[in-house]
Amino acid sequence: MFDYASDIENTRYTFPTNQSLEETKNNIAQFYLANPLGRWGIELKSNGKFIGTIDLHKIDPVLKKAAIGYIINKKYWNQGLTTEANRAVIELAFEKIGMNKLIALHDKDNPASGKVMEKSGMRFSHAEPYACMDQHEEGRIVTRVHYVLTKEDYFANK
């Protein structure tokens, strides 16, 4: 994980870039302890190499909705691997867990993440200007783009 977590090009739109292996180890512990049942590693089928993570977070057990988040090592971008992982988590969420709605969002300046969401069956919901401050570029205000998928849309288009 440190391989991609320490690379600013990988973490640009996700989380603060890790500065040391120790920081990555601590982040892994915090990441998985916070929600151990909704976070998974992404690995290559061919050799089991760990290349990223995907998770369900902001889980609302009453309304049965959650958000999906992911990051993958830039060495594996544009190969369909993130879309494949996203589809698997979407399938799990609707078919096994019984979720009603999933959301995902990305920085407007990272349209490739939006393509993953679209290819996974999610639909554009809205753009959120002035959503937050960029954690990597001082002074830059982020516009977040939101996608959604309901259980009705999932099963209708399956």
Whole-number CA gyration radius for the chain: 16
Give the pLDDT score at 39: 84
Q: For 76-97, how does the pLDDT look when each residue is reduced to its tens digit (9 = 90+)? A: 999 999 999 999 999 999 999 9
Residues 57-80 have a mean pLDDT of: 95
Contact indicator for 82, 120 with CB cutoff of 8 Å: no
Output the six-digit token pair for 13: 């739109």
* Structural domain boundaries enclosing 7: 2-156
- The rounded percent of the chain whose pLDDT value lies above 70 is 96
Give the pLDDT score at 94: 97
DSSP 8-state secondary structure symbol assigned to residue 46: T
Give the pLDDT score at 132: 95
Non-local (6+) Cβ contacts of 125 within 8 A are 103, 146, 147, 148
Give the pLDDT score at 35: 67
Least-confidence region, from 26-40, 67-81, 92-106, 139-153: 26-40
pLDDT exceeds cutoff 80 at 124? yes
Phi and psi at residue 68, in whole multiples of 5°? Answer: -110, 135
CATH number at residue 132: 3.40.630.30
Question: How far is it, in rounded angstroms, from Cα 147 to Cα 145?
Answer: 7
Strand 141-150 versus strand 123-133 pairing type: antiparallel
| Total domains, the chain | 1
Give the pLDDT score at 11: 87
Higher-confidence residue of 10 and 64: namely 64
